[in-house]
Amino acid sequence: MSLMGQMMQMPLLISSLLTHAARHNGDTEIVSKRVEGDIHRTTWGEVELRSRKLAQALARLGCEPGDRVGTLAWNGYRHLEIYYGVSGSGLVCHTINPRLFPQQVAWIINDAQDKVIFVDLNIFPLVEKLVPNLPCVKHVVLMCGRDDMPRDHSLPHLHCYEELVEAENGQYDWPTFDENTAASICYTSGTTGNPKGAVYSHRSSVLHAFASALPDAMCIKATDVILPVVPMFHVNAWGIPYSTALVGCKLVMPGHHLDGASLYELFESEKVTMSAGVPTIWLGLLNHVKANGLKFSTFKTTVIGGSACPPSMIRTFENDYGVEVVHAWGMTELSPIGTLGRLKSKHSHLPAEEKQKILEKQGKSVFGIDMRIVDGEGNPQPWNGVATGDLEVRGHWVISNYFNIDKSPLHDGWFPTGDVATIDADGYMQITDRSKDVIKSGGEWISSIELENVLMAHPAVHEAAAIAAHHPKWDERPMMVVVKKPGAEVTREELLAFYKGKIPTWQTPDDVVFVDELPHTATGKLYKLKLREMFKDHKLPTA
Ligand code: AMP
């Protein structure tokens, strides 16, 4: 007969992250640049107390275990209190991206059946318009103090956040329940079709927090000061609100002030050591520091993911500013961490240039995530760094189902990511494309990310996107859509010549078109679907 372990059974609950932070790092600061414009300071201890009061307030509003509570809010201490007050009390925290089209926001609220919506002051006009047509929403809570409450509004059940919290006494014990209970929901961006909900459990979220804080993952330590640029509505800010509580470090919340100048000021004034976000946001910050001849005094590491981080961006951060870039890959369905670019000990003797090449890839998987690449028939492909295949993953924080959709998304027990990738013999994965974005020229595949990375290293290029254009002979050929840096001059011919020697000649794009701006999705990724639509009638000079 097997012998059972004789250890305590304690469910992995989100509330335990916060109670740990409050008990062991209670005086560590949480600093927020508020929508109101000022800087607000609180601590993990204070956040824990106010989260308990918020849990009491939600019960008073009639919320019951399993009820969904929506948020339309930027990164800030009140949003943090909602994360914990909601999930900790057995409700489900549903973060919504306010940059989605209003009809998408309405669709998502209705699909999740949110009973309460918390909203930041500058997003209130959107909610005021949508809520009358959303019968599931019984209460709207405006995240502000009494003085900022609007006098004229049309909502019958509008509450003031601070009044709700202040009315409670905090005498509340975090409940204990099954660790597989739903803790939060995030919807995918839905650039094709309706958004789909990923429902995270307490268990998956706590395990993800452990793993993402590891030295070979985001390497989050109590001595760090972390500023998540990635919004709390984008896959729970990559779990940072949880992993920072787990290690008890200082957290700096930028609100909606995400332009280069505002970020730089906050990085310096709060002595930020670490950050995380998508490449587009870093373009803004790097432009600002370059234009003003600035340096960072404490900023040491940033995790970049959500889209491919161009190697030129990694080099600029490291060579010009001494900031280490950790390239990461993940997705909503993965809570989101999957792989990160970190070296192994056997790489320590390699020349800097070769190390850099390894770190440009999307990286190796953290414990808890397994991956494979398969061909069109589902056959596993070799890990040789050359063979491409559809990337599939499985693990403790990978979805098994989408919310409200019966059909399982899994293939043979694995989650098909929709990304195309190579994996090398050392287990380093490199994304070559979203499968929908692959450029198929005469039956051969060309990586749009590779084409973009080359031009992103050109001094006159601010941003570049590669898309497939129709070609009578090759079916598809790559074309580049480019935004120049302010004041920069460069021609189509110069950019095409820039590819010489950097990629196989036959992969060189057939055309370059300049535009003032590229379309982005609500999470800051290149909106390729829209781009392809814009250029669907484009006539290639080679056609
Ligand atoms: P989302 O669920 O909105 O976070 O989007 C996930 C998708 O973003 C992935 O399936 C990839 O296509 C893309 N993505 C995320 N991180 C990276 C990365 N480091 N390099 C390339 N693509 C990425």
Token digits for 244? 């920072």
DSSP 8-state assignment for residue 331: -
Residue 329's Cα: distance from chain center in Å? 10
Residue 306 has pLDDT above 90, yes or no: yes
Q: Give the mutation target among 332, 431, 447 for probing the ligand 1 site: most ligand atoms within 8 A of CB.
A: 431
Final residue before a domain boundary, out of 142, 162, 194? 194
Nearest CA to ligand 1 atom 15: 306
Q: Give the mutation target among 100, 307, 364, 388 for probing the ligand 1 site: most ligand atoms within 8 A of CB.
A: 307
Residue 183 has pLDDT above 80, yes or no: yes
Output the pLDDT for position 355: 97
Query: Is 74 noted as a catalytic residue in this protein?
Result: no
Q: What is the CATH number of the domain that holds 470?
A: 3.30.300.30
Residue 528 in any domain: the answer is yes
Residue 341's Cα: distance from chain center in Å? 16
Residue 523 has pLDDT above 90, yes or no: no
Q: What is the CATH number of the domain that holds 103?
A: 3.40.50.12780
Q: Are 94 and 112 in contact (CB under 8 A)?
A: yes
Residue 488 has pLDDT above 90, yes or no: yes
Beta-carbon contacts of residue 353 (< 8 Å; ≥ 6 apart)? none
- Degrees to nearest 5, angle at CA 287 with 240 and 298: 50
Output the pLDDT for position 36: 87
Question: HEC states along 134-171?
Answer: CCCCCEEEECCCHHHCCCCCCCCCEEEHHHHHHCCCCC
Final residue before a domain boundary, out of 194, 216, 249? 194
Cα separation, 193 vs 191, in Å, equals 6
Cα separation, 79 vs 256, in Å, equals 12
Q: Are 455 and 483 in contact (CB under 8 A)?
A: no
Token digits for 369? 């995530």
Residue 125 in any domain: the answer is yes
Output the pLDDT for position 177: 98
Nearest to 433 by CA among 528, 521, 326: 528
Which ligand 1 atom is at minimum distance from the Cα of 332? 2
For range 369-388, the mean pLDDT: 97
Beta-carbon contacts of residue 459 (< 8 Å; ≥ 6 apart)? 485, 488
Cα separation, 492 vs 512, in Å, equals 5
**Omega before residue 409 within 30° of 0, cis:** no
Nearest to 138 by CA among 157, 164, 163, 160: 157
Q: Give the mutation target among 278, 525, 527, 528 for probing the ligand 1 site: most ligand atoms within 8 A of CB.
A: 525
Q: Are 185 and 523 in contact (CB under 8 A)?
A: no
Which ligand 1 atom is at minimum distance from the Cα of 523? 3
Beta-carbon contacts of residue 152 (< 8 Å; ≥ 6 apart)? none
Nearest CA to ligand 1 atom 4: 331
What percentage of the chain has pLDDT greater than the value 90?
Answer: 94
Torsion sign over Cα 253, 98, 199, 378: negative
Query: Is 474 noted as a catalytic residue in this protein?
Result: no
Query: Which of these is catalytic: 48, 81, 179, 333?
Result: 333
Q: Are 276 and 228 in contact (CB under 8 A)?
A: yes
Query: Is 440 noted as a catalytic residue in this protein?
Result: yes
Cα separation, 371 vs 337, in Å, equals 12
Q: What is the DSSP string of 369-393?
A: EEEEEE-TT-PBPP-SSS--EEEEE
- Show the domain range for 485: 439-534
Query: Which of these is catalytic: 324, 445, 502, 530?
Result: 445
Dihedrals phi, psi of 425, to nearest 5 degrees: -60, -25
Task: Give residue ranges with CB within 6 A of ligand 1.
Answer: 188-189, 235, 305-309, 327-332, 336, 362, 417-419, 431, 434, 523
Place of tokens 């001595």: 223
Which ligand 1 atom is at minimum distance from the Cα of 308? 20
Nearest to 48 by CA among 16, 71, 73: 16
Output the pLDDT for position 223: 98
Between the CA of residue 185 and those of 28, 109, 315, 401, 405, what are the distances in Å? 28, 11, 36, 12, 14
Residue 383 in any domain: the answer is no
Dihedrals phi, psi of 216, to nearest 5 degrees: -85, 0
Beta-carbon contacts of residue 408 (< 8 Å; ≥ 6 apart)? 400, 401
Counting Cβ atoms within 10 Å, is residue 394 exposed (0-12), middle (13-18) or buried (19+)? Answer: middle
Q: Are 393 and 370 in contact (CB under 8 A)?
A: yes
For range 331-336, the mean pLDDT: 98
Q: Are 109 and 117 in contact (CB under 8 A)?
A: yes
Query: Which of these is catalytic: 188, 316, 388, 432?
Result: 188
Beta strands (DSSP E) in 306-451 are 324-330, 337-340, 364-365, 369-374, 389-395, 415-423, 429-434, 439-441, 444-446
Residue 168 in any domain: the answer is yes
For range 63-76, the mean pLDDT: 98
Question: Between 478 and 444, where is the model more confident?
Answer: 478
Beta-carbon contacts of residue 27 (< 8 Å; ≥ 6 apart)? 43, 44, 45
Q: Are 206 and 13 in contact (CB under 8 A)?
A: yes
Residue 322 in any domain: the answer is no
- pLDDT class of 55 with cuts at 50, 70, 90: very high
User: C-alpha dihedral over 234, 240, 241, 247, to 10 degrees?
Assistant: 170
Output the pLDDT for position 447: 93
Instruction: Provide the number of structural domains found in the chain.
Output: 2
Cα separation, 50 vs 40, in Å, equals 15
pLDDT digits (tens, 9 = 90+) for 103-157: 999 999 999 999 999 999 999 999 999 999 999 999 999 999 999 999 988 898 9
For range 215-236, the mean pLDDT: 97
Nearest to 70 by CA among 121, 15, 127: 127
Output the pLDDT for position 189: 77
Token digits for 423? 């994996």
Query: Which of these is catalytic: 440, 444, 494, 533?
Result: 440
Which ligand 1 atom is at minimum distance from the Cα of 328? 19
pTM of the model: 0.94
Which ligand 1 atom is at minimum distance from the Cα of 431? 21
Beta-carbon contacts of residue 311 (< 8 Å; ≥ 6 apart)? 356, 360, 453, 456, 457
CA 79–ligand 1 middle distance (angstroms): 24
Residue 409 in any domain: the answer is no
Nearest to 499 by CA among 433, 449, 455: 455
Output the pLDDT for position 524: 87
Residue 52 in any domain: the answer is yes
Output the pLDDT for position 193: 76
Nearest CA to ligand 1 atom 1: 331
Residue 146 in any domain: the answer is yes
Final residue before a domain boundary, out of 194, 210, 243? 194
For range 389-404, the mean pLDDT: 98
Identity of the residue numbered 204: S
